[in-house]
Chains A and B, each alone.
Chain A
Amino acid sequence: MTSVLPDLAGHFGRYGGRFVPEALVRALDELETAYREAKTDPEFQAEFQDLLLNYAGTPSLLYPAKRLSAKAGAEILLKREDLNHTGAHKVRNVLGQALLAKRMGKPRVIAETGAGQHGVASATAAALLDLECVVYMGETDTERQALNVARMRMLGATVVPVTNGSRTLKDALNEALRDWVASVDTTHYLLGTAAGPHPFPEIVRDFVGGIGVEARQQCLDQIGRLPDVVAACVGGGSNAIGIFHAFVPDEGVALYGFEAGGDGVRTGRHAASITGGSVGVLHGARTYVLQDDDGQTVESHSISAGLDYPGVGPEHAWLHDTGRAEYEPVTDAEAMSAFQLLCRTEGIIPAIESAHAVAGAIRIIPALTAELGREPTILINLSGRGDKDVHTAGAYFGILDEVETLVPGEQE
Chain B
Amino acid sequence: MSISEIFHKARAEDRSVLIGCMPAGFPTVDDSIASMIAMHEAGCDVVEVELPYSDPVMDGPVIQKASDIALAAGVRTRDTLRIIEAVANAGVPVVLMTYWNPVEKYGVNAFARDLAAAGATGMITPDLIPDEAEEWLAASDEQGIDRTFLVSPSSTDERIAMTVANCRGFVYATALMGVTGARTSVSRQAPDLVERIRQADRDLPVGVGLGVGNGKQAAEVAGFADGVIVGSALIRCVLDAPDRETGLSRLRALSAELSEGVRNPEK
Contact = CB atoms under 8 A, between A and B. Distances in A.
Contact of A178 (B104, B159, B179): B179
Interface string A9-37: 10000000111111111110000000000
Size band of the B side of the interface?
Answer: 35 or more
A281 B60 CA distance: 20
Contacts of B126: 21
Contacts of B149: 22
B178 interface: yes
B179 A19 contact: no
B64 interface: yes
A184 B178 CA distance: 10
Given A177-B57, A295-B106, A23 B154 contact: yes
A76 to B, nearest CB: 39
Contact of B127 (A21, A26, A280, A291): A21
A181 B127 contact: no
A371 interface: no
Contacts, number: 117
A165 B68 contact: yes
B102 A181 contact: no
Most chain-A CB neighbours within 10 Å: which of B64, B163, B179? B179
Nearest to B75: A294
B155 A25 contact: yes
B151 A22 contact: yes
Nearest to B153: A23
A46 B149 CA distance: 42
B60 A23 contact: no
Interface in A271-329: 280-284, 286, 289, 291, 293-297
A177 B129 CA distance: 16
A24 B151 CA distance: 10
B174 A23 contact: yes
A181 B58 contact: yes
Nearest to A23: B152
Contacts of B103: 295
Contacts of A184: 154, 177
A83 B126 CA distance: 43
A281 B53 CA distance: 12
A282 B129 CA distance: 14
Contact of B101 (A9, A165, A182, A280): A280
Contact of B76 (A24, A174, A294, A297): A294
A22 B173 CA distance: 10
Contacts of B77: 294-295
B10 interface: no
Interface in B160-201: 163, 174, 176-179
A286 B101 CA distance: 9
B104 A280 contact: yes
A282 B101 contact: yes
Contacts of A174: 55-57
Most chain-A CB neighbours within 10 Å: which of B131, B150, B154? B154
A21 B150 contact: yes
Given A165-B54, A178-B57, 18 more contacts: A17-B131, A18-B132, A19-B129, A20-B57, A20-B129, A22-B149, A22-B152, A22-B155, A24-B154, A25-B155, A164-B64, A171-B55, A181-B57, A280-B105, A281-B101, A281-B127, A294-B105, A297-B55
Interface of B: 53-58, 60-61, 64-65, 68, 71, 76-77, 100-106, 126-129, 131-132, 149-156, 159, 163, 174, 176-179
Closest CB pairs A-B (n = 4): A295-B105, A23-B152, A182-B178, A295-B102
